[in-house]
């Protein structure tokens, strides 16, 4: 348990410090160049996903160099078999769910098509920015899953009740995102459910890449392909979709269904889908997740 807590706290501290240092440097140079507070705030908020993605990557690099303090090998993190048979198939499932969500919003009139990527004045630069953002999302999700579902759960699963392992893993995951981004209650509820669902899958299958693929596929397609906000960050993707804010006044329930300006991670529909996945896995694997009363907590 101590090793698990030390790893989680180190990861949270590293990401927080990395983000603060980078954003402080950006703020300093932009302020010296005469940028207004609004411009500085918009720039830092827009690039927060990029910062978090590379903060996660840098932590993983440091972790692999700490042998023998932390014995993490490259074969634990990424292999051809892991990517081909675990990450990639689930990445496609997450991408399909994001496409269905966006298409349903368009058909229902909740989202409006505003423009297309090629209308940019500098398409080559914009394309590079989109690829950079997509890479950051994949890095952030993959490292998060490796740390919390791969290593953290591996440290505690043999010494704790399954429910305790799953809840602790979900709580630390939610805490990490709340420290990295400015999130509302709807986001936090979704992340708590998401952390629980992915923890259950990892506990049952002993593999973190499956959950990483699902989440990376959904977030990357929703954000990069359809420009939907994630973690409170909004930017232009290949196809620019925008939520019709008039629904907040005329039909407030639509905001809860679609997530409104908060994006898919604030949507009741997404929360319901995650909750269904949790209940389905709990029912299917109840013998594994809920041992007999005679099996006392270790």
Least confident interval from 137-141, 181-185, 195-199: 181-185
**Tokens found for residue 65:** 């160099």
How far the first Cα of the chain sits from its last, in Å, is 12
The confidence band for 158, taking pLDDT boundaries of 50, 70 and 90, is: confident
pTM of the model: 0.89
229: left (phi over 0), alpha (psi -120 to 50) or beta: beta
Query: Which of 4-8, 232-236, 272-276 shows the highest mean pLDDT?
Result: 272-276
Q: What gap in Å lies between CA 244 and CA 184, rounded to an integer? A: 20
Residue 3: the pLDDT is 80
| Statement: residue 93 has pLDDT above 80 | yes
Please check the confidence at residue 160 and state whether its pLDDT lies above 50.
Answer: yes
DSSP class per residue in 17-41: HHHHHHHHHHHHHHHHTT--HHHHH
163 in helix, strand or coil? helix
Q: Where are the chain's structural domains?
A: 79-289
Distance CA 168, CA 260 (A): 30
Of 47 and 169, which is predicted with more confidence? 169
Identify the pLDDT of residue 26: 86
CB-based contacts of 223: which residues, under 8 Å, 6+ apart? 49, 133, 137, 229, 230, 233, 235, 237
Q: How confident is the model at residue 122 (pLDDT cuts 50, 70, 90)?
A: low
Q: How many CA atoms lie within 13 A of 205 on its CB side?
A: 17
pLDDT 10s digits, 131-148: 889 999 999 999 999 999
CA distance 234 to 230: 7
CA 145 to chain CA centroid, nearest Å: 9
């Amino acid at each position: 348990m101590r090793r698990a807590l030390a790893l989680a706290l180190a990861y949270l501290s590293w990401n927080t410090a990395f983000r603060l240092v980078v954003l402080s440097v950006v703020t300093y140079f932009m302020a010296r160049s005469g940028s207004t507070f609004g411009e500085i705030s918009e720039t830092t908020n827009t690039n927060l996903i990029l910062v978090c993605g590379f903060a996660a990557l840098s932590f993983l690099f440091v972790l692999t160099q700490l042998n023998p303090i932390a014995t993490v090998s490259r074969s634990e993190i990424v292999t051809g078999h892991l990517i081909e048979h675990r990450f990639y198939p689930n990445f496609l499932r997450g991408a399909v769910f994001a496409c269905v969500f966006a298409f349903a919003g368009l058909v229902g009139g909740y989202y409006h098509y505003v423009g297309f990527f090629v209308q940019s004045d500098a398409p080559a630069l914009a394309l590079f920015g989109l690829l950079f953002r997509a890479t950051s999302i994949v890095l952030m999700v993959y490292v998060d899953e490796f740390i919390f579902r791969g290593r953290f759960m591996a440290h505690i699963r043999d010494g704790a009740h399954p429910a305790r392992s799953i809840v602790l893993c979900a709580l630390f995951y939610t805490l990490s995102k709340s420290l990295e981004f400015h999130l509302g209650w709807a986001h936090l509820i979704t992340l708590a459910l998401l952390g629980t669902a992915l923890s259950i899958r990892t506990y049952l299958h002993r593999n973190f890449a499956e959950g990483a693929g699902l989440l990376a596929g959904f977030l990357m397609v929703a954000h990069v392909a359809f420009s939907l906000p994630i973690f409170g960050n909004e930017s232009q993707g290949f196809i620019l979709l925008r939520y019709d804010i008039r629904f907040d006044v005329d039909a407030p329930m639509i905001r809860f269904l679609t997530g409104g300006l908060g994006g898919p991670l604030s949507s009741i529909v997404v929360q319901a889908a995650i909750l269904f996945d949790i209940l389905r896995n709990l029912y299917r694997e109840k013998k594994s997740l809920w041992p007999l009363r005679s099996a006392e907590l270790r």
